[in-house]
Amino acid sequence: MKLLLVEDEDSIAEPLAEGLRREGFAVERVATGKAALDATEPDLILLDVGLPDMDGFSVCRELRTRSSVPIIMVTAKGEEVDRVVGLEVGADDYIVKPFGIRELIARIRAVSRRTAERPTSRQAVKVGPLELDSRSRRVSVDGSEIELTPKEFDLLALLATDPGAVVSRARILEDVWQTTWLGSAKTIDVHVAALRKKLGHPSWIETVRGIGLRLNVPT
């Protein structure tokens, strides 16, 4: 597995990269946000929040406009708001310094496994005027293509696997954001609001109070 380590502090990056290489990972290290955006896409990105040219949240947000590569935010900040922001801009997981190499490797493998296990058997789905193609990651309504962020697409694709069925918030967090931390549930609401607007009608996604969400065809 090829990892991109985005960390500007040599004292942290060098032993971390060495430890990961000993575990069999191929590691490329860069020290700036610009270098991360210019790098060849890896299998997973370890992204530090505090970078010299731009913050990691901005890097993650930019990456998410063009890629669904798994991203683990690495930071010294542990406040709830930082975890929420990281998930909202598209991170798949969040680990706080200091951490052990074993914990990091476990998170890398968990994120990789969950990403690979996302439902892909139904490549093309049609729900009323909505068409979703998982292979090309394209969505259209009434023949007009809609641009979605990677997380918006993943959320919609999950709901579209069984239209009309309620999907719990816990499952959404697990499958789309690879987390079980319920404090990050508000990021679901942000993405649902964006999806409703882009799909053109709020009734596409119904909130079932206390349970979760389901995909409906507006009447």
Express each pLDDT in 10-33 by its tens digit.
Answer: 999 999 999 999 988 999 999 999
The verdict on 143 and 172 lying in the same domain is yes
The verdict on 94 and 135 lying in the same domain is no
**Which of 77, 95, 116 is the last residue in one of the domains?**
116
- How many domains are contained in the chain? 2
The verdict on 107 and 46 lying in the same domain is yes
Return the CATH number at 65: 3.40.50.2300
Whether the predicted pLDDT of 117 surpasses 60: no
The verdict on 138 and 190 lying in the same domain is yes
pLDDT in tens, 65-85: 888 889 999 887 666 677 777
**Which of 116, 137, 170 is the last residue in one of the domains?**
116
- pLDDT at res. 120: 46
**Which of 57, 82, 116 is the last residue in one of the domains?**
116
Whether the predicted pLDDT of 64 surpasses 50: yes
The verdict on 148 and 53 lying in the same domain is no
The verdict on 93 and 30 lying in the same domain is yes
Which residues lie closer than 8 Å to 92 by C-beta, 6 or more apart? Answer: 70, 71, 72, 111, 115, 177, 178, 179
Domain limits for position 65: 2-116
The verdict on 47 and 128 lying in the same domain is no
